[in-house]
Amino acid sequence: MNEQISIGFTAMEHIRFLTENIGPRPAGSLQEQRGLDYAAEQLIRNGYKTQQSPVSFAPNPAFYIENILAGIIIILAGWGWYYLPWLTLLSPLLLLLIPELERWNETHRPHTRKSANLFGSVEDEDYDKPLIIFCAHVDSAPAMAVDHPLLVGLFAHGMTILQRLAIFILFLSIVHLIGFSLPFSIYLPLAIITSLVGLWFAGTDLINQLNRKKGYTTGAIDNASGVGLTLALAEHFAVSGVPRRLRLGFLVTGAEETGLHGAMAFAKSNLIQKQKTLVINLDMVGAGRDVLIVEKEGSLFTYKTPVELNKLFLNVCPQAKLTWYSLKSGDFAAFLAAGVDAISIQTTGNDQAEAVYHTVNDTFDAVDIQSLELTGQALVRYVDMLPYSQWAMTKND
Ligand SMILES: [Zn+2]
């Protein structure tokens, strides 16, 4: 087979199995377990030893209040800035705090259900070498009811739109507060516009939450693509070999979509030495030719991925761009929170892929093989370069 296309091609075969033979994989479900078992078979077939370990997780709550609250805040700001400018000054801060509230909620809900992680690695290991773990979540997300392609992309940017609008209103409040009299004629149109934006955002969220008839997504891009690429890389390194100064591991997590529970459990387990491990998180890697490397996560309190290790990726993949997950998250954040070095790779750029995020349309047909190939080849070069990085040098001491 042509080496140039083999990683993407192999990844596609795994994605096809996960999406078309297994289908949606809710956290804690039989289908999620089938995904883990399938990945285990593939790793064993390539000579790795595997281990599954149980994960306890908190299922998604019946109702999230956060987005509705955000809609209400922007509506109040839109009507209040003229008369209660002091109060309006708070709204951008409140909107930045809401994603933090959501994050706090996710980590503090009681764990009542069981999922699992799968970890594969080379037998007979030298435990002194730095361990590089490719990581991807196998579970899929609840499907949004409002899934028209035009509305999905807009809703995904909803909180950002609200935050920008709040900053604009803040600016008007300050102008008003320091005594420049703004004409009353702008008051009503602005109040109406913010009301419409707030109602759209809170309303869409409410419909998505109350109408769960569509079940769970097939999760082809999010994140059979990450699992497929992880397994394809496992096969690649089984054939071509691993740089002598590194160990490689392959982690498939469960219960990511419920709040990174699989990754949190793994980061706390005794399967890794925290100080000698680098996790390379692959989430949504079949979504277009633009490769993104996540620089930080969080809106107000952020986790940062290691600068040196991001730069190294930019060396092997010069077209990659840095991105900031101000609202989204991923397994890498659970590792960073636990003190384990982690980077995260995503792809974007395919309009169709953007429009299917967390909907029933996230199916095999939406996956872009070229983006898998591009990312896969870059990661092979990355692993080749890693032994020469400052990071690995200090770990080898
Ligand atoms: Zn994901």
* Residue 206 alpha carbon to ligand 1 centre in Å: 22
What region does 210 belong to: left with phi over 0, alpha with psi -120 to 50, or beta?
Answer: alpha
Give me the mean pLDDT over the 216-236 stretch: 97
CATH topology of domain 3-60+111-143+215-396: Aminopeptidase (3.40.630)
Phi, psi for residue 352 in degrees, rounded to 5: -65, -40
Rounded to the nearest integer, the mean pLDDT of the chain is 91
* Residue 244 alpha carbon to ligand 1 centre in Å: 32
In this predicted structure, the answer to whether residue 19 has a pLDDT above a threshold of 50 is: yes
> Residue 175's pLDDT band (boundaries 50, 70, 90)?
confident
> Residue 100's pLDDT band (boundaries 50, 70, 90)?
confident
In this predicted structure, the answer to whether residue 1 has a pLDDT above a threshold of 50 is: no
* Residue 111 alpha carbon to ligand 1 centre in Å: 20
> Residue 3's pLDDT band (boundaries 50, 70, 90)?
very low
* Residue 221 alpha carbon to ligand 1 centre in Å: 8
* Residue 147 alpha carbon to ligand 1 centre in Å: 17
What region does 47 belong to: left with phi over 0, alpha with psi -120 to 50, or beta?
Answer: left
* Residue 136 alpha carbon to ligand 1 centre in Å: 8
Would you tell me the crossing angle of helices 66-80 and 187-210 to the nearest 10 degrees? 170
Q: What percent of the chain has pLDDT over 70?
A: 98
Phi, psi for residue 341 in degrees, rounded to 5: -65, 135
* Residue 228 alpha carbon to ligand 1 centre in Å: 13
What region does 260 belong to: left with phi over 0, alpha with psi -120 to 50, or beta?
Answer: left
Looking at residue 397, its pLDDT comes to 63
Over the stretch 335-386, which tens digit does the pLDDT of each residue have? 999 999 999 999 998 888 878 989 999 999 999 999 999 999 999 999 999 9
Residue 62: count of CB within 10 angstroms of its CB = 7
* Residue 290 alpha carbon to ligand 1 centre in Å: 17
Q: Tell me which of 289 and 123 has the higher pLDDT.
A: 289
How far apart, in whole angstroms, are the C-alpha atoms of residue 29 and residue 4? Answer: 36
Q: Tell me which of 219 and 354 has the higher pLDDT.
A: 219
Q: What residue spans define the domains of the chain?
A: 3-60+111-143+215-396, 66-101+149-210
* Residue 230 alpha carbon to ligand 1 centre in Å: 14
* Residue 170 alpha carbon to ligand 1 centre in Å: 34
List residues bridging with 51 in a β-sheet: 119
List the structure tokens of 333: 């954040």
* Residue 343 alpha carbon to ligand 1 centre in Å: 14
* Residue 257 alpha carbon to ligand 1 centre in Å: 7
- Quick one: three-class SS letters along the chain? CCHHHHHHHHHHHHHHHHHHHHCCCCCCCHHHHHHHHHHHHHHHHCCCEEEEEEEEECCCCCCCCHHHHHHHHHHHHHHHCCCCHHHHCCHHHHHHHHHHHHHHHHHHCCCCEEEEEEEEECCCCCCCCCEEEEEEECCCCECCCCCCHHHHHHHHCHHHHHHHHHHHHHHHHHHHHCCCCCCHHHHHHHHHHHHHHHHHHHHHHHHHHHCCCCCECCCHHHHHHHHHHHHHHHHHHHHHCCCCCCEEEEEEECCCCCCCHHHHHHHHCCCCCHHHEEEEEECCCCCCCEEEEEEEECCCCCEECCHHHHHHHHHHCCCCEEEEECCCCCHHHHHHHCCCEEEEEEEECCHHHHHCCCCCCCCHHHCCHHHHHHHHHHHHHHHHHHHHCHHHHHHHC
Over the stretch 228-285, which tens digit does the pLDDT of each residue have? 999 999 999 999 998 888 999 999 999 999 999 999 999 999 888 889 999 999 999 9
Residue for token digits 């913010």? Answer: 194
Over the stretch 60-94, which tens digit does the pLDDT of each residue have? 887 888 899 999 999 999 998 888 877 788 888 88
Do 354 and 153 meet the contact criterion of CB atoms below 8 Å apart?
Answer: yes
According to DSSP, the β-strands at 290-297 and 247-253 are unpaired
* Residue 112 alpha carbon to ligand 1 centre in Å: 22
How far apart, in whole angstroms, are the C-alpha atoms of residue 374 and residue 380? Answer: 10
pTM: 0.91
How far apart, in whole angstroms, are the C-alpha atoms of residue 396 and residue 157? Answer: 43
Looking at residue 395, its pLDDT comes to 82
In this predicted structure, the answer to whether residue 331 has a pLDDT above a threshold of 90 is: yes
In this predicted structure, the answer to whether residue 36 has a pLDDT above a threshold of 90 is: yes
